[in-house]
Chains A and B, each alone.
Chain A
Amino acid sequence: MATSIIFLPLLGFLFCFLLGKQFNYKVYQISTTSILFLCTLFSWIIFIQFVNNKETEIIFILNWITSGNFIVDWSIRLDTLTAVMFIVVTTVSACVHLYSIGYMEEDPSKIRFMGYLSLFTFFMLVLVSSNNLLQMFFGWEGVGLASYLLIGFWHHKDSANKAAIKAFVVNRVGDFGYAIGIAGIFYIFGTISFDSIFSQVDQFSEHQIQFLSFSFPTLDFLCFLLFIGAMGKSAQLGLHTWLPDAMEGPTPVSALIHAATMVTAGVFLVARMSPLYEFATFTNLFITFIGAATAIFAASIALTQNDIKRVIAYSTCSQLGYMFFAAGVGAYNASIFHLTTHAFFKALLFLSAGSVIHAMHHEQDMRKMGGLFKKIPFTASMMWIGSLAIIGFPYLSGYYSKESILENAFYASNGIAYFAYLVGILTALLTAFYSWRLLFLTFHGENRSNNKIYDHAHESPLVMTAPLFILAIGSIFSGIFFADYFIGYYKKEFWDNAILLTESSHKYLPLTQSLISKSAVAVGILICVLIYSNNLNRANNLSYNLDPLYSLSKNKWYVDELYHKVFVLTFFKLANFFWKRGDEKTIDGLGPNGVSWIISKSSSYVSLFQSGYLFHYAFAMLGGLVIILTWFLYY
């Protein structure tokens, strides 16, 4: 069953890719979508088996690489973590497949689109079910490829192509670390299969490794390298710039890849390697710090963006920060829990945003929306549910997972974790603010769009609203149902060594702290209501008065500009320098061209010897003969 979950989407892709012109496009849409729903069904069956304490299972498929003692297999690792990721990936993917039938209705390349979605799902499933680091890397780069193809799906748009390249290249910077990390793990442990690595971890807790003439604690160092990969894929501070630009892709793509599944691969990697990370004290502090910093940094940008998708994109970035600082303080279960709930509500938010965009004829600027609640009430209520879930409204899914993360940070008892805790509360305030701002600008207040567009705004068809409904159910109930298993009473039996659980009885935040975090959310909403409730005048005045801060946030802290100056321009300058000065002037100048210059100069002298007189030649030959004979006599 697990095998079919993984390979069915690949089949769907190959069907679209190889036989893409044989049938009506509906055949492809229906077949890929039903394949995904079948996979979803299978995944939930497997998940329920794991809830009932199924044993970890490893399905061997084929030997992939054997080189000396470097042996890598194609195989499927089925444990609780895989099962959780299976339901997340397949459920969201099935919803997105279905939704795309409606959303991409007018696009001429529907078949290609469905094919890419299935291809992505295949790679993602390979990633989460891998039993070794290299097969995971195969999935890891594979989802990167699918993301590249889908961001650049509308390849006639230059901005989309640029964003696609940016995503791929920034991810490659992360992969640079990941690849070296795998090589390092093989060097230290002599294997890259998870179980064999984990069984040896104890022996290396004090071990030191030499790298670039420095000495590092081995496990810290290896975890750090892998985390660089995770930072790239999960768009953490420094390597985050690709994610907002990835919104150039069609909205279902943003929901599937750049919110619910692919970007969480980094979190998954850290959780998967948790037995290793447990010994990486320094790296854990680093992860906590980066996570917290990303959470607030991205949230601060989301406050002022006007593109509806960009707000949600930065929100994703920020929520990923939460997951990472949870992982950093050792609460891997809370981290994965948030990953799961986040997948539902963030996919819901994105698809709802897509529904809005669909209704508004591809308008994404929230300044040109407003008052849409009356026109598209269903979409608006879905967006409300998603927003309530993300801010952690009691008993919705986000409430449980976020609360659990804050708890763990609070009790982690180190300085950086406490910093993360405070940042987490502040970010919750910002989250509430930007979520409400989005709701106000889009659905409430007066209409600011072209009247013609507003009048034509209509609720989306059933294929688009049904997935919203499914995801909304997930956003509401996934917290209350799963909390006991993921973080609560049954967590030990449920996780069963799939990830590392820190020894702590389930503690609740002290009442005062809990109240503070809840009031932070309330304050966020309140501020938003005060500013945006009637019209935009107050907001405009405020942005004018707070200009330096406002511009900083609006322009994303100028990180893109900085990178462009520091990296892109330098690279092109260096490239031209090496080419023109290095190759053409120096190497060619001293090499072949120099030699030919010398030869042509000297040959004009040599030609003097070619006098044409026979006795000149005879004399020269005689001289040569003498010299050769002399040489032979001596040696």
Chain B
Amino acid sequence: MIDWPLVSVIIFLPFIGALIILFIKEDELTSINIKWATLLTTLGTFILSLILWLQFDYSNPSYQYEEKFRWFDDFNFFYHVGVDGISLFMILLSTFLTPLCILASWNNIKKRVKEYMLSFLFLETVMIGMFASIDILLFYIFFEAVLIPMYLIIGIWGGNRRIYASFKFFLYTLLGSVLMLIAIIVMYRNTSSMSIEFLQGNYFSYNTQLFLWLAFFASFAVKIPMWPFHTWLPDAHVEAPTAGSVILAGVLLKMGGYGFIRFSLGMLPEATEFFIPLIMTLSIVAIVYTSLVALAQTDIKKLIAYSSVAHMGIVTIGIFLVNQQGLEGAMMQMISHGLVSAALFLCVGVIYDRMHTREIEFYGGLVQRMPLYATVFMIFMLGSVGLPGTSGFIGEFLVIVGAFKFSSYVVIGAAFGIILSAVYMLYLYKRIIFGTITNNKLADILDINTREKIILIPLAISVILLGIFPNLFLDPMRLSLELIITNYEIANAK
């Protein structure tokens, strides 16, 4: 093993990068130095996080690379970070997507470049920090800190209705945060411990669990988001700049799923058992309802946003099945969605940069002018549809397999997504890519350039890689998820 604090370095490298950038003089014309510094920092972080994966011990279900320092003398608060099979890929997802975001913002961010890059670096630090936290208070601080840069990114660099969107985003998440803080205080008062590792099990009385569960639910259900707490997402996506949408869909939504696994399943097993029917109902409604709503959208980004909600419905079903296939399926679906939806937003960004509109009707026949774009877009569309051989299939199918043991209604609901996702995605693809060019403004549109290729092709490769060799990802997470399931079953066997 490595004897230097790898996790902390990964967490704070972007932050240090941000500090350095503070002192780089902003060049009026291009801010090229700032962009390069940011890109290199994020790339460095990504490479370091790959070491995390390469050195990861697959046979160890609990935390690895642990670092622990007492934070306050009088309380059991620690700076305690580490990585296990569940957080490993969440961290990798964050570090993989951030450099792509920087590249995607290379030319289209023209105002306040320095602040923009600072926001992104800060965002990366808090995202990684959140996934790596083993101390609940630390987790909470990072969890809430994510809101600040995201709020700024939407509110400053967003579209026309950015104020409304960021307000809505903030309002929803605020509600969750307040309840979560109260829940954390109650937890501490009950156990005098803030360690996620220690609290995995069944330490709270049944009634306390019910309360805590609802408090956490309020926060995570908004984040992931579950129906009917989802309406902030389409607005936030539409108004956010491309890179903002990528992080929002790629990583921030996963905070909800991650939280459900760690807190609801891990610490509140009896309450979870009680609330499972509620989750299943909401998830099935989400899949059917939002898939249909996606069909009616006229804005490309909104359509993809609604499809995210439907995909997250599969995730919540998988998590709350609490069996091996369900949980692994949910994790795979989260990773896959992180790549696919991020890539789809990047694809939208490509044509938005050229035409400055996201109206579906404006486009049509792009394949005639942009064959390469059409090809990569096709790969991501198929990933979203869940075609076998792409990442989307593995998660979806494992959840269906897991659900069969649980309830036939849930299976039907989850499998219904198979049909509907094909309908809205193919319909979208047909309208913007296929056909002949009827809009004169599109006559000279250019195919993707080298920078855009560098962004999109790694994503396309990962989508297929994940579909054909899913074990690369399933093997490291297996034991950590098994531990959660075992604890859960012991708690509920009483």
Is A572 in the interface zone, CB < 8 Å from B?
yes
A72 CB to nearest B CB, Å: 10
Q: A324 vs B198: C-alpha distance in the bound complex, in angstroms?
A: 60
Q: A69 vs B401: C-alpha distance in the bound complex, in angstroms?
A: 11
Q: Are the C-beta atoms of B325 and A156 separated by less than 8 Å? A: no
Per-residue B-contact encoding for A208-251, CB less than 8 Å = 1, 0 else: 00111000000000000000000000000000000000000000
Interface residue SS majority, chain B: helix
Is A623 in the interface zone, CB < 8 Å from B?
no
12 contacts between A and B (CB under 8 A): A65-B471, A65-B474, A161-B434, A172-B419, A175-B418, A176-B416, A183-B397, A184-B404, A574-B292, A583-B231, A583-B293, A595-B171
- The list of the 6 closest CB pairs from A to B, nearest first, reads A68-B324, A575-B296, A138-B388, A183-B404, A575-B292, A155-B434
A contact residues around B292 at 8 Å (CB): 571, 574-575, 578
Q: A579 vs B230: C-alpha distance in the bound complex, in angstroms?
A: 12
A contact residues around B434 at 8 Å (CB): 152, 155-156, 161
Total contacts A to B, CB within 8 angstroms? 146
Is A2 in the interface zone, CB < 8 Å from B?
no
B473 CB to nearest A CB, Å: 11
Extra contacts, 10 of them, besides A138-B389, A148-B426, A583-B293 (Cβ < 8 A), are A66-B475, A68-B323, A68-B325, A142-B388, A155-B435, A187-B405, A210-B408, A574-B292, A575-B294, A591-B231
B contact residues around A572 at 8 Å (CB): 295-296
B contact residues around A134 at 8 Å (CB): 388, 397
Contacts known (A186-B404, A571-B292, A575-B292); A180 close to B412, Cβ less than 8 A? yes
Q: Are the C-beta atoms of A183 and B296 separated by less than 8 Å? A: no
Contacts known (A156-B435, A161-B435, A183-B400); A169 close to B423, Cβ less than 8 A? yes
Per-residue A-contact encoding for B172-207, CB less than 8 Å = 1, 0 else: 100000000000000000000000000000000000
Is A587 in the interface zone, CB < 8 Å from B?
yes
Number of interface residues of B (CB under 8 A): 58
Q: A596 vs B289: C-alpha distance in the bound complex, in angstroms?
A: 26
Per-residue A-contact encoding for B394-418, CB less than 8 Å = 1, 0 else: 1001101101110011011001101
A contact residues around B451 at 8 Å (CB): none
B contact residues around A66 at 8 Å (CB): 471, 474-475
B319 CB to nearest A CB, Å: 14
Q: A355 vs B69: C-alpha distance in the bound complex, in angstroms?
A: 79
Please name the residue on chain A nearest to B398 by beta carbon.
Answer: A67
B contact residues around A141 at 8 Å (CB): 387-389, 393
B369 CB to nearest A CB, Å: 12
Q: Are the C-beta atoms of B435 and A158 separated by less than 8 Å? A: yes
B402 CB to nearest A CB, Å: 8
Q: Chain A: residues with CB nearer than 8 A to chain B?
A: 63-70, 134, 137-138, 140-142, 145, 148, 152, 155-156, 158, 161-162, 164-165, 168-169, 172-173, 175-176, 179-180, 182-184, 186-187, 210-212, 571-572, 574-576, 578-579, 582-583, 587-588, 591-592, 595-596
A contact residues around B422 at 8 Å (CB): 168-169, 172
Please name the residue on chain B nearest to A185 by beta carbon.
Answer: B404
Q: A172 vs B434: C-alpha distance in the bound complex, in angstroms?
A: 21
Contacts known (A67-B329, A210-B408); A592 close to B474, Cβ less than 8 A? no
Task: Determine which of A68, A70, A172, A587 lies in contact with B231 in the assembled complex, contact meaning CB atoms within 8 Å.
Answer: A587
Contacts known (A176-B419, A184-B404, A592-B231); A65 close to B394, Cβ less than 8 A? yes
Q: Are the C-beta atoms of A179 and B400 separated by less than 8 Å? A: yes
B contact residues around A591 at 8 Å (CB): 172, 228, 231
Q: A576 vs B289: C-alpha distance in the bound complex, in angstroms?
A: 11
Please name the residue on chain A nearest to B426 by beta carbon.
Answer: A165
B contact residues around A180 at 8 Å (CB): 400, 404, 411-412, 415
A73 CB to nearest B CB, Å: 11
Please name the residue on chain B nearest to A583 by beta carbon.
Answer: B231
B contact residues around A162 at 8 Å (CB): 430
Q: Are the C-beta atoms of A183 and B293 separated by less than 8 Å? A: no
Q: Are the C-beta atoms of A172 and B325 separated by less than 8 Å? A: no
Per-residue A-contact encoding for B472-492, CB less than 8 Å = 1, 0 else: 001100100000000000000
Please name the residue on chain B nearest to A584 by beta carbon.
Answer: B231
A433 CB to nearest B CB, Å: 37
A292 CB to nearest B CB, Å: 27
Q: Are the C-beta atoms of B289 and A582 separated by less than 8 Å? A: yes
Q: A249 vs B416: C-alpha distance in the bound complex, in angstroms?
A: 28
Q: Are the C-beta atoms of A183 and B430 separated by less than 8 Å? A: no
Contacts known (A67-B329, A67-B398, A172-B422); A145 close to B295, Cβ less than 8 A? no
Contacts known (A64-B470, A175-B418); A165 close to B409, Cβ less than 8 A? no
